[in-house]
Amino acid sequence: MKIITVEEHFTTPEAAKIIADYKATLPNQDKIKTDDAAMAAGMAACTPNPEEMIDVDKLRIDYMDKNHIDIQVVSAAGITPQLLPDDLSIDACHDLNDALAKHIAKHPSRFIGFATLPANNPEAAASELNRSVTKLGLKGALFSGTIDGEFLSESRFFPIFEMAAKLDVPLYIHPGYPTEEETNVLYKSDSFSAPVKSILSTPGFGWHMEAGIQIIRLIFSGIFDKLPNLKLISGHWGEFVPTFLNRLDEMTAPVETGLKKSFSEYYRNNIYITPSGIFEYDQMLFSLNRVGADHVLWSEDYPFVKSGHAGQFLEEAPISPESKEKIAHGNVEKLLHLQ
């Protein structure tokens, strides 16, 4: 069975250096978006060998071959040039996307790419998305968390989504580091340690909740009434949102929201979800019940997650052969126009 995974990450030495250099200029070695304790604790839970992030040739392909993965959709996530100020972010995203396109050109049968965008400058981000798709052959873009604490549902970010709809490419709404204020309000307590606060605010719970809220806010912003062919991808089995589809419908009727459809209709039509390395059959079966096999993609979150059985898990899943084929490659081939 052919398997394509859609949330697999990389960086370049140049991108890592420009981010490190920028952080060094901040007062007291301060944060880009969050405090270093949260960042360190969050990354410690799933930190890959730096060489695995940079190597888009031998290490990665060897891993894919051993684990039944035919193609990775590669992107930058977490600490990326998206987080830099405008005077650095635009050029750094441009260079990172160029580097990704070169990696793909070396191995066109093994890799596909999602662009990194200077999201704090929506017009520049829309332009870079257009260039990345039409000139570099990338198939969409990925956002990491909020943009300087702002959610993507704010109207100023609309040009990015408008461009994605025009190009008919998806945008991946990936978790990012919460702001220090958010971390302290929701996860700080004198009843447990700072490391517990840090891990709760990041991969333990917090960044998944925030990524799910991104999707919720975007739907209620009316973006799918304005751009009905826009497609978004949400990892970690939908970042909690599928659990509350019925509840959200009950609490937010179209007469109150001003939207044309119910929340769940937009979700099931415009959102695709992936496991992001959470390989649990109960999660899979619940998600298939909520959104259907046509809107589930496959992903491992390499190299943050190296399960060693991403392909095997799907091949042995207690679902129909037809659903397996859709999830393994059919859905993403349609979504990214690979056929």
Name the average pLDDT for the chain.
92
d(CA 152, CA 133): 21
Give the residue with greater pLDDT, 120 vs 57: 120
Work out the pLDDT band at 31, boundaries 50, 70, 90: very low
pLDDT in tens, 138-186: 999 999 999 989 999 999 999 999 999 999 999 999 999 888 899 999 9
Domain of 18, in residue numbers = 4-335
- Tokens coding 154: 């704010």
Alpha-carbon distance values, 332 to 141, 226, 237, 335 (Å): 14, 24, 16, 5
Taking residues 180-206, report their average pLDDT.
92
- Tokens coding 312: 């095997």
CA dihedral 287, 289, 294, 297 (to 10 degrees): 20
Query: Does the pLDDT of residue 33 top 50, yes or no?
Result: no
Work out the pLDDT band at 57, boundaries 50, 70, 90: confident
User: How many structural domains does the chain have?
Assistant: 1
d(CA 44, CA 34): 15
CA 304, 48, 16, 72 torsion-angle sign: negative
Work out the pLDDT band at 137, boundaries 50, 70, 90: very high
pLDDT in tens, 204-247: 999 999 999 999 999 999 999 999 999 999 999 999 999 999 99
pLDDT in tens, 270-292: 999 999 999 999 999 999 999 99
| CA-closest candidate to residue 240, choices 214, 266, 261 | 214
d(CA 116, CA 15): 11
Look-up: residue for tokens 């405008």? 86
pLDDT at res. 30 = 46
- 274 contacts 299 by C-beta, under 8 angstroms: yes
Side-chain-side CA neighbours of 88 within 13 Å: the count stands at 18
pTM: 0.94
pLDDT at res. 46 = 57
Query: Does the pLDDT of residue 11 top 90, yes or no?
Result: yes
The CATH number that applies at residue 128 is: 3.20.20.140
- 32 contacts 22 by C-beta, under 8 angstroms: yes
Rounded to the nearest 5°, which phi and psi values hold at 73?
A: -95, 110
Taking residues 101-130, report their average pLDDT.
97
